Structure 1
């Protein structure tokens, strides 16, 4: 059996979709469906069983509970960057992850988990997978960073497949439940439909209006990386998952406008509360992926937005 935690969420549900496309259906989906709208993400997926996150956590250390599990895709986490209850965040993102990892080690199961590009903070020190670049600026980022540190200290002491993925700005199908945390591609699409205007921030940090740049990576590419590492258990470590090519918010908005064949951009004042706490530039150093042997090209914003909106705007 394969376990996917956070399996009803954005990335988790797409990983299950990718597994289904391979014919994999012996899947345990773990999630918290307090937000029942997430069921729309999994209604077309095939799984063997569902388990509530709290029930799963209670059973993690039970004898034989992990017997027969060959891999865990650990995507579940408290992902709110505005959550400052450190005890809560560390319990959900750090302690929970450690328990899963140690049970995988005990049962010789692969452990593939979600880290985050947020560990790089404002990006002032670059985006390489090394300690010098890592400077988290909120509790969510710190919890991801600290678990990566724990993995670094443990990975040489075990030979099970372990891979952590620092996702950059992921966008694509099955993210609509995230509300304000959904991607700019999703929000620009909704704005063009409702008002014909995509709203972008005015210039900041030396960037002109809408020219702040992010490494936008399409969800299908993220899934492909995860499944590639499942197929290549000899490759172990922590990896950036992005395109390696930053593109502007203007490029994202213009791709959405091009798909609709109408619309314009409106630049709004940069929020004061984000000054000094905003990533105006991100660009994944993907040399680690390439060195591991993953050589597939990533979709550009123009390619990914077209694929996304073809799906998103189909009744």
Structure 2
């Protein structure tokens, strides 16, 4: 059995689809399945059982001998949530319990960390373990992910193989339920459909022109590819960045969305809201050397290729992966 937590969510459901495509069907899906808006993400997927996230620890104690691998993708990811108790419960303590069980039962574990751990990037974007204690995330979500990374690196008892994946800006199908937390590409597409133009934040940093704020955007199918690679190649445990290693401008993203629809770009700029202006990231770029030196050699999808596939094959017609 292969366990996927957060299985009804964006990345988790895409991972389930990727596993199915490789012939894996004995899957245990873990999530809060009461959220019916996520149900379409699992339509057509093949799996063995759904387990409520609150019941999973007990389920694993009973069934651990049959579990081959765990992908712990589930998390509270709302960067605008400031109730730290929610993050302590769902992102920190929940993952600690799972880690301890995987260590005890010798189950390999891949879990979702985040590029949000890097804060404003004042210490760079290296996934070196020595950097983790210095990082200063910008919100409770980022804090919760970095707090777990720090905790994990201090543990003497660990799963025999583990990887914490620092996801950068992931985009792609099955994020329809995410609302304001969905990718900029998702919102750009909807703005084009509704208004015929895209609004981007104006730059308030003299070093960057409007729309030239930079992010490392990674297509969700590349994330799935890396997860499958790590399941098969348990070479080195640790934290791994998961971006493309190439920062791109929001202006490039917006233009790519228009081009995928065969439309001329129409872009307007609006002020960045004052409540997030002092915490706004103008640049992120994952250092990808560690994953590549680990043996992963598949090229990452370019922004233009990824946006075209996402828009034409999924957003148009609201199809799922």
Instruction: Pick the TM interval, shorter chain.
Output: over 0.9
In the other structure, the counterpart of 1:292 is 294
In the other structure, the counterpart of 1:152 is 153
Question: C-alpha distance in 1, partners of 2:44/2:279?
Answer: 38
| TM superposition score normalised by structure 2 | 0.93
Q: Which runs of 5+ in 2 are unaligned?
A: none
Q: Deviations over 1:32-63 (max 9, x none)?
A: 12320111111021110111112224x1574x
Tell me which stretches of 4 or more aligned residues in structure 1 moved more than 4 Å: 156-159
In the other structure, the counterpart of 2:275 is 273
Alignment of 1:110-259 (within 5 A): 110-129=108-127, 130-131=131-132, 134-154=135-155, 157-158=157-158, 160-206=160-206, 207-259=208-260
SS at match of 1:65: helix
Question: C-alpha distance in 1, partners of 2:252/2:92?
Answer: 36
SS at match of 1:18: helix
Superposition deviation, residue 105 in structure 1: 1.3
- The answer on whether the counterparts of 2:133 and 2:150 sit within 8 Å (CA) in structure 1 is no
Distance 1:288 1:56, change over 3 A: same
Distance 1:104 1:32, change over 3 A: same
Superposition deviation, residue 158 in structure 1: 4.3
- The answer on whether the counterparts of 1:70 and 1:110 sit within 8 Å (CA) in structure 2 is yes
Q: 2:99 aligns with which of 98, 101, 122?
A: 101
Alignment of 1:24-35 (within 5 A): 24-35=24-35
Question: C-alpha distance in 1, partners of 2:162/2:267?
Answer: 43
Q: Deviations over 1:101-120 (max 9, x none)?
A: 11111111110000000000
Distance 1:272 1:314, change over 3 A: closer
Q: Does 1:311 align with 2:313?
A: yes
- The answer on whether the counterparts of 2:107 and 2:159 sit within 8 Å (CA) in structure 1 is no
SS at match of 2:218: strand
SS at match of 1:66: helix
In the other structure, the counterpart of 2:16 is 16
Question: C-alpha distance in 1, partners of 2:107/2:161?
Answer: 7
Superposition deviation, residue 85 in structure 1: 1.8
Question: C-alpha distance in 1, partners of 2:164/2:71?
Answer: 10
Superposition deviation, residue 157 in structure 1: 4.6
Superposition deviation, residue 84 in structure 1: 1.9
- The answer on whether the counterparts of 1:60 and 1:100 sit within 8 Å (CA) in structure 2 is no
Worse-matched range after superposition: 31-40 or 235-244: 31-40
**CA RMSD after TM alignment:** 1.5
In the other structure, the counterpart of 1:4 is 4
| TM superposition score normalised by structure 1 | 0.95
SS at match of 1:28: strand
Q: Deviations over 1:171-197 (max 9, x none)?
A: 001011101100011111111111110
Q: Which runs of 5+ in 1 are unaligned?
A: none
Question: C-alpha distance in 1, partners of 2:102/2:133?
Answer: 29
- The answer on whether the counterparts of 1:6 and 1:74 sit within 8 Å (CA) in structure 2 is yes
- The answer on whether the counterparts of 1:94 and 1:147 sit within 8 Å (CA) in structure 2 is yes
Superposition deviation, residue 7 in structure 1: 0.3
SS at match of 1:78: coil
Question: C-alpha distance in 2, partners of 1:280/1:164?
Answer: 25
Alignment of 1:82-93 (within 5 A): 82-93=80-91
Superposition deviation, residue 299 in structure 1: 1.1
Superposition deviation, residue 76 in structure 1: 0.8
In the other structure, the counterpart of 1:72 is 70
Worse-matched range after superposition: 81-90 or 115-124: 81-90
